[in-house]
Amino acid sequence: MHTETILQNHCIKLFEKLGFKFLSSKEALSLRKNNHNVLLKDILKERLKTLNHNKFASETLERAIKDLDKPLDKGLNETNKSITEYLLYPQSYPVEGKKKKEGLTYIDFEHPCNNDFHISAEFKVACHGSDKTRRPDLVAFVNGIPLAVIELKRWSVGFKDAINQILSEQKNGEIQNLYKFIQITLAGNGIEAKYGTTGTPLKFYNVWEEEDEGIKEGLKTHITDRDISKLDETIAALFSKERFLKLLKHYIFFDKGVKKICRYPQFFATEKTLQRVETMQGDKRNGLIWHTQGSGKSLTMIMLTRLLKLRFGRSKIIVVTDRIDLDKQLSETFRGVAIDIKHAKNGKDLFKKLQSGASVITTLVHKFEKLDSMEPLLEENIFVLIDEAHRTQGGSLHEAMRAVLPNACYIAFTGTPLTKAEKNSFVKFGGEIHRYTINQALKDGAIVPLDYEGRFVEQKIEDKEGMEDAFERMTKNLSLEAKEELKRKWSRFSKIASSEKRLECIVQDISMDFRKKCKRVSFKAGAIFATNSKYEATRYYELFKKNTDLKVSYVISSNEQEELEGGHKKYIAQIWKETTCGNDETYIKKVCDEFKKGDIELLIVVDKLLTGFDAPNALVLYIDKPLKEHNLLQAIARVNRVKEGKECGFIVDYRGLLGELDRTLTQYSSLRDFEPEDIQGAVFSIQDRIKEIQKFYMDLEEFFKEVEHKNDMQSYVNVITGAHKFNEFKNLFWNFAHSFHVALNHAKIYELLDKETIKTYKEKIKFYNELRAATQRQLHISADLKEYEVCMQNLLNQYINANGVNEIQKLTSIFDVEFENEMQKIEDLSARADAMICATNAVIREKQESNPAFYETLTQEILKIIEEYKQKRINAEEKLKRATNIVQKTKQGSLQKSYPASIKGKRLIALYDCLKTHFSALSLKEDLKENLVESVALEIEKIYKEITVIPDWPSSSKANEKMKSGVADIFWNIKRKYQVIIENQDALCQKIWELGVKNR
């Protein structure tokens, strides 16, 4: 089992192998002077001298350190941003003997070995405005500046707890004084590890998959005495000296005020592109980056742009798209990270900006066609970044670009895989630089899986023969020409009439389906409905408004090809004008914002917003239009974005694009031109979910195969012998229940699973949930409310156990009035004793420092009970009796039942207990020792009453010195009067101080 201490030691050794010097908490504190300061100032000052060639005076260096240690008056995020800028860019300070100021550097990013790297454990930091402290497990320093926090949990607990602890420590009143410097945060438990930066929410913590073989091989030489864990791999990847500084310098940035750190595919795509550009010539520099939608393609373009500008002095970067909305979106994204980007309004403006000093330009690919009369620009330091390159890499548009910029380097990006034909053409273009597939993104949690369901609605006319007879009777007196003209009109009318009925069916189906799906998520979910035409979009809108209570809106645009069929052109033009008030851009922005906030539940679209629209709350995509290849993959990706409480997105297809999804995706005409491995994992079917349910069900059955009495709950509890076993069971149960829950969203589950099987699964989920609750009580493990998300609770309430017996409840403390009743629910006497002992241990862990003497005594008693039962020296009844006694002592909170009348209050009792334990070794009579303990405790209490009037006394060095001086005088008087020596006086003085602080 990996305890936190073992994990911590493994990490420290690895950091040392990576070139970090270890500082114990005591050594670190001596360099910091106190728990409020987090900079290792002596190390920092010495390193500043060396890095800046001793050109700054000592007072200037002191000022530079003070300037770096910025106050938090503007909040953590703004302070962190300001400090980050200080670290990245030289700051101007006066140099003695010179008129001009010069740049002072805190870190040498170009030469890693010129910096000092340290790692410290149990780094105690005082909370803001209180005497409480927090102790991050590991803190990594560069030149005495804390830049990374690593939080560890034993593998049975789960790394999410570590992330939540990191997030908690960044709150007001916590240790923001440390996190204002922090650039990388890492949470791990040996099995799993995820990283982020200051302010990163839980859902955006990422895994790192290393692609550099050198780092992989290096790790194998660093760790030879044990298996390499995911935590080891992540530490080596993030904190190898050169990589650590590269991430700090180039791959951590603020996007519209939000601090972000790159994902590994973004990092390696950028690095490989730079390597290609720097080492190859001509067209060999060109290439393609395929990163699946939802994985941060736009931010990859930004990172690459920043580094290209840095590496190539007078370079020009042109960001090319083929749609106005995407062009605007990319421009806003670039401006969000403070890149000065210019937008080319037309062909002439583009050419003018290319000839001017503009370094980053966005434009539409069509603008290049307007430049056919212009002289080509022959510069080689022009880089063209082409978004959604599968639409523009071939044909006249691409040729127009090449004609104007023949020597430019072309880097293409796509969010969907290339078809087989496109791959062949891209070989000439330069080939693939980097890929990040759908399956990889799913595995990493960068996107959520998509569940597909086909609900093809047939369109038919009832009593076709009767309708034809009626038509003939009505037209018997008309000429042949007139009859044919009427027939054509009648044909259109019958099509519209039949479609109307079909539209109504779909409206009702969506209304019921969406409400059903919304019940199982914890956020304001939205759905996107892709329709076939602007006319259908407006008709659907009217039907939804008339027949449902959904909050619905729609987007149609004036710049799409006008529809001539059926005479709807004027109608569409009129309704567009009424809806948008003639301002397409403002209207669409308003609708998108309302949808993301949850004010719009269903958004009806035609083509707009089926690409480039990122709304994490989008849960379902309903499709009633023909889509294929890239258009289909781009559309379904609207609902794959990550959001807290969102386990998957749903695709409901009314056009039968993928039928029953019972074949390989490439066997369907809409996706047949792709390679099978490239679109693997794009969507999952109900058949996939049923296979999952069956597998997870069998996993649970296998886990409990050794249970002797299948009808006895306690027999199952006994299999889960410790927290690590409980965690394993909980994960198996969660997989089973979650997969069953998702499958219930499919209308066809009852066709594919018989009633008895569904009944068995429901009963098993009910039983395993009761088992989870019983084990949680017995092992006194904290309630897992965060992991059992809303959907899990809804599953239990709606489908498994409507009477609420299995509601997930918080753990009962021994001090709660319900504790005894909870214990009585455990019938097995030994198991009940174990539950009481676990509950007592929870109190001991929480209150240990407030009265160490008392709680250490309790711990020894608990260990004795466990050992004697193990050796069969006591039976279950005696074990329970002694465990009950332990609970009573813990509630009492002191070593003995009664104290001298003068010993009252938790601080005096703690002092009394501590002194009694320590004075027990004195060679004095027992009654004299009792009196001495009482009198010394009272004298120390007098000192406390004097020093507690000092403002913020727990953090005051004056109060600390006065306390220790007074206690030393008391001990000296005891020695003089009784001729006895009190051992370890310094340690005892420190303990007395800590007891006063903890019990104030």
Of 117-131, 464-478, 498-512, the range with the lowest mean pLDDT is 464-478
Task: State pLDDT tens for residues 860-896.
Answer: 777 778 777 777 788 888 888 888 887 777 776 655 5
Rounded Cα distance between 23 and 692, Å, is 48
Of residues 244 and 757, more confidently modeled: 244
- Is residue 733 a contact partner of residue 761, using CB atoms and an 8 Å limit? no
Taking Cα atoms as reference points, which of 685, 683, 672, 681 lies closest to residue 628?
672
- Assign residue 656 a region: left if phi > 0, alpha if psi is -120 to 50, beta otherwise? left
Residue 619 has pLDDT above 70, yes or no: yes
3-state secondary structure 390-458: HHCCCHHHHHHHHHHCCCCEEEEEECCCCEHHHHHHHHHHCCEEEEECHHHHHHHCCCCCEEEEECCCC
pLDDT bracket for residue 534 (50, 70, 90): confident
Task: State pLDDT tens for residues 795-813.
Answer: 555 555 433 333 334 456 6
Taking Cα atoms as reference points, which of 160, 212, 211, 209 lies closest to residue 187?
160
Residue 785's pLDDT is: 45
- Is residue 329 a contact partner of residue 317, using CB atoms and an 8 Å limit? no
Cβ atoms within 10 A of the Cβ of 483, count?
Answer: 15
Q: Around 56, how many Cα atoms within 13 Å sit in the side-chain half-sphere?
A: 26
Residue 807's pLDDT is: 38
What is the percent of the chain with per-residue pLDDT over 70, rounded to a whole number? 85
The alpha carbon of residue 105 and the mean position of all alpha carbons in its chain are separated, in whole angstroms, by: 33
Q: What is the CA radius of gyration of the chain?
A: 35
- Is residue 914 a contact partner of residue 851, using CB atoms and an 8 Å limit? yes
Mean pLDDT calculated for residue range 633-646: 89
Distances in Å between the Cα of 777 and the Cα atoms of 59, 717, 726 are 60, 11, 12
Distances in Å between the Cα of 644 and the Cα atoms of 203, 521, 576, 793 are 6, 9, 36, 15
- Is residue 673 a contact partner of residue 629, using CB atoms and an 8 Å limit? yes
Mean pLDDT calculated for residue range 305-309: 91
Tokens of 19: 């070139």
Task: State pLDDT tens for residues 691-708.
Answer: 888 999 999 988 888 887
Mean pLDDT calculated for residue range 416-437: 80
Directed axis angle between helix 906-919 and helix 926-947, to 10°? 140
pLDDT bracket for residue 184 (50, 70, 90): very high
- Is residue 120 a contact partner of residue 141, using CB atoms and an 8 Å limit? yes
Residue 469 has pLDDT above 70, yes or no: no
Mean pLDDT calculated for residue range 660-670: 74
Rounded Cα distance between 153 and 160, Å, is 9
- Is residue 255 a contact partner of residue 249, using CB atoms and an 8 Å limit? no
Residue 716 has pLDDT above 60, yes or no: yes
Residue 396's pLDDT is: 60
Rounded Cα distance between 939 and 943, Å, is 7
Give, as one character, the DSSP assignment of residue 800.
I
Of residues 565 and 23, more confidently modeled: 23
Mean pLDDT calculated for residue range 652-680: 80
Mean pLDDT calculated for residue range 116-144: 91
Residue 908's pLDDT is: 80
> In sequence order, which residues have a C-beta less than 8 Å from that of residue 40 and are 6 or more positions away?
23, 28, 31, 32, 118, 141, 144, 145
What is the percent of the chain with per-residue pLDDT over 90, rounded to a whole number? 30
Tokens of 597: 């906030």
Mean pLDDT calculated for residue range 440-456: 88
